[in-house]
Amino acid sequence: MHPDTPLSPGDPAGTVLRVGQIGFVAPAALLGRFGLQLQRVAPGEPIPGSFWGDEEAGIIGNTVYARDDTPVHSLLHEAGHLIVLPPERRPDVHTDATDSIEEEDATCFLQIVLADELPGVGRARLMADMDAWGYSFRLGSARAWFEQDAANARDFLQARGLPH
């Protein structure tokens, strides 16, 4: 199963960290470092470019879309898809950034690393949220994958001069 394929629709217990809980300022600044914009979507409005729908973040071109109820892990994952792409490919992105397992792995790794850049988030919280949401890794958890099975993702990011 793909690492970002949810096993269940969302987090029924509501335990994952949401963008509204940390605000949009720090995520917007983080995305800006990579030439991306964060667009806040009004409550209840559909999120443009969302692959999964509901509260999941969306991507179109150089913009990541999120609402207050968007999980932080979703925002970082979709941003990661754009970050791992060469800037010249970003304008063509609408909703689905890649079908490459290599890029998907790099995106999952990068979202964990970028979590350390957001106050009140951090990689431990993000990995716990990924597990709660239903990300599926062959070692059983995001943390086990990140620490023991993600060398290919780390190498991918390192080769492109991205955080790893």
In a domain, 6, yes or no: no
**Does position 9 have pLDDT exceeding 60, yes or no?**
no
- The answer to whether residue 4 is domain-embedded is no
In a domain, 8, yes or no: no
Inform me whether the pLDDT recorded for 11 exceeds 90.
Answer: no
Does residue 9 form part of some domain? no
Q: What is the dihedral of CA 67, 68, 69, 70, to 10 degrees?
A: 50
Average pLDDT over residues 90-106: 91
Q: How far apart are CA 164 and CA 88, in angstroms?
A: 22
Q: Is residue 10 part of a domain?
A: no
Neighbour tally for 78: CB within 10 Å = 30
Which of 54-58, 74-78, 87-91 shows the lowest per-residue confidence on average (mean pLDDT)?
87-91
Q: Is position 94 within any domain?
A: yes
Flag whether 88 is in a domain. yes
User: With contact defined as beta carbons under 8 Å apart, do 47 and 23 qualify?
Assistant: no
- Answer yes or no: is 12 within a domain: no
- What's the pLDDT tens digit per position in 102-141? 999 999 999 999 999 999 999 999 999 999 998 888 899 9
Check if the beta carbon of residue 77 is closer than 8 Å to that of residue 107. yes
- Tell me how many domains the chain contains: 1
Q: Can you give the residue range of the structural domain that contains 93?
A: 19-159
Give me the pLDDT at residue 18, please.
98
Residue 10: is its pLDDT beyond 90?
no
- Predicted confidence band at 8 (pLDDT cuts at 50, 70, 90)? very low
